[in-house]
Structure 1
Amino acid sequence: MKKLFLLSLAIFALLLPSSVLAQFGEPEIRKKEVPKNLYDEGYKAGFGFIFGANDFGFGVGGQYRRVLSRYTEAHLSFKISGLKDPREQVFIDYFFGTKTIPNKYKRVVSFPITLGMKKRVLAEEVSDNFRFFGSFSGGPVFAFSYPYFNDRNRNGFRENNPQAYDTFERPNDILTGWSDGDWHLGLTGSAEIGIDFNANFANLQSFMFGYNFYYFDQGLQILEPSQPQLDDTGNPRYENGELQITNNYAPKKFYGSAQISFVFGWMWD
């Protein structure tokens, strides 16, 4: 019995140091997994259709994306959208369905072409099917302006009341006046934050919110450059049968607006 006790004591003494070390030693370091991303999943490029809206109206276009690294992409975008002066006021007759825009002089359609970068953020904190990112882009914008009405006497003002003026100038429909239009070249840029949805990286589904601007060095004359002079009774003043006018709105160079955009498309390797 004594020998058995001594043998048990010896075995316990040998095991004790290793147990203590196992209990108080540092735990094994586990390697942190890299979040799923387009680069590691083998997707190198993609294309999507853009649908957006801002203070100037609605726009559509396309976007090509190129994957550069795990969390970085480059993108090339082309859009077609309306452009209006923020000072415009629209009045709608809901009974007859007619729309009136006082002082409107030109309609404008813009064609921005931008090159930008997109960077995923919070990749380790947020799940892979809800990928936050920041993006910025810039490039040239081509704008086409054409008459809102047929300015017969070329005075830069629409005579819209037959009782007050010698002539009456009707607004053009949206497809009229293109032959009298002009092209303008400017700069555009945007800064956005957004989310890429869907755990299936082959499907491109993005929502973006940000700020977009246009700049034209010569300005765009979207509102009427002239207005009639009035006599003491408040009526338009004529001299030798010609309406007397004075300056009104100057060309506007800078246009800025908040915007939201949606992109739907696909990625490939």
Structure 2
Amino acid sequence: MKKLFLLITTFLICFQTNQVYAQFGEPEVEERDNPRNLYDEGYNVGFGFNLALSDFGIGVGGQLRIGLGQYTEGIATLKVTGLKDPTEQTFTDFLGYRTIPEKYQRVIAVPFHVGLKKRFFPKAISDSFRPYASLSAGPTFAFSYSYFDDFNENGFRENDGRLYPIVEPVNDIFTGWNNSETHWGMGGEFVLGIDFGENFANLSSVQFGYTMNYFPDGIQVLEPCQPDLNRVGEAPLNPCGSGVNYAEVLNVNNGTVTTELAPLEQANDPRKYFGSAQLSFVFGWMW
């Protein structure tokens, strides 16, 4: 009887030990199939429309993509966007009239950037959600034109009829092109983005990054001159290089209105560097 009891006890101990080993044993590792990619599936060329939002406003253009490897693409982007000084502020009066104090020129830029795009974590993230980074650079052409009609060409806008004998009106975006300048510079973009969708024939991307442009000679975005109203009547010095070196100022004395001259002083230098964070969307096709 004792032998039978020992035999049963030994069997139960061995059975529980096997259950413990089975419970704590490591599961078999399942190997993940190689991720899909545009290059191997024959989608080597793509084109998309690019809509960008930044501190400069809205930019529109196109983007060409060319497959260079399984997870690497060459990109070329051409777009049209505005540029402005980061200190600009827009004010709207009760009639809906909008004005930007000290604004001198509007600027339209056409950057052309060429670079590389690299997909990240292809084996760890689903093929329908493909994160990537890209870096590109290239030339930038810019076109600047007058923000207001500078009648007397003194480099600033007379905007108050109580202070100046004339009031210079603000041009709309289609006016002032006869007084324009062209500029050449360099630019670039760094982007983190995501390609969406399992259908590789459709191009759908969201990008967030930083865009920059540099013009060696600078662009006069804000007014180069301002009148020094504390020195009315003194000899003009023309420190800012404008065509006219003074401002006409109204002086009211005992009901009599006379015009006096105020010398100009340097106000704003040409801006060389334009940089901004940017959110962009790309929609198009791959083939």
Please classify the TM superposition score into its range, dividing by the shorter chain length: 0.7 to 0.9
Partner of 2:59: 59
Deviations 1:205-257 (A, max 9, x none): 00000011110001110000000111379xx7759854421110101111111
Partners of 2:124 and 2:95 in 1: CA distance: 54
8 Å CA contact 1:197, 1:205 repeated in 2: yes
1:245 alignment partner, one of 243, 264, 276:
264
8 Å CA contact 2:231, 2:263 repeated in 1: no
> SS of the counterpart of 1:37?
coil
* Residues 107-256 of structure 1 mapped to structure 2, 5 A cutoff: 107-231=106-230, 242-256=261-275
Q: Percent identity?
A: 51
Partners of 2:183 and 2:85 in 1: CA distance: 15
Partners of 2:223 and 2:159 in 1: CA distance: 13
Deviations 1:79-109 (A, max 9, x none): 001111001111123x422111000000000
- Alignment: residue pair count: 239
Partners of 1:232 and 1:59 in 2: CA distance: 44
Normalised by the size of structure 1, how large is the TM-score?
Answer: 0.84
Once the two structures are overlaid, the 10-residue window that deviates more, 224-233 or 47-56, is 224-233
8 Å CA contact 2:248, 2:259 repeated in 1: no
Partner of 2:42: 42
Partner of 2:284: 265
Partner of 2:74: 74
Partner of 1:99: 98
8 Å CA contact 1:225, 1:248 repeated in 2: yes
Partners of 1:110 and 1:85 in 2: CA distance: 13
Partners of 1:152 and 1:29 in 2: CA distance: 79
8 Å CA contact 1:230, 1:237 repeated in 2: no
> SS of the counterpart of 1:231?
helix
Letter in 1 for 2:177: W
> SS of the counterpart of 1:39?
coil
Once the two structures are overlaid, the 10-residue window that deviates more, 30-39 or 49-58, is 30-39
Partners of 1:29 and 1:100 in 2: CA distance: 66
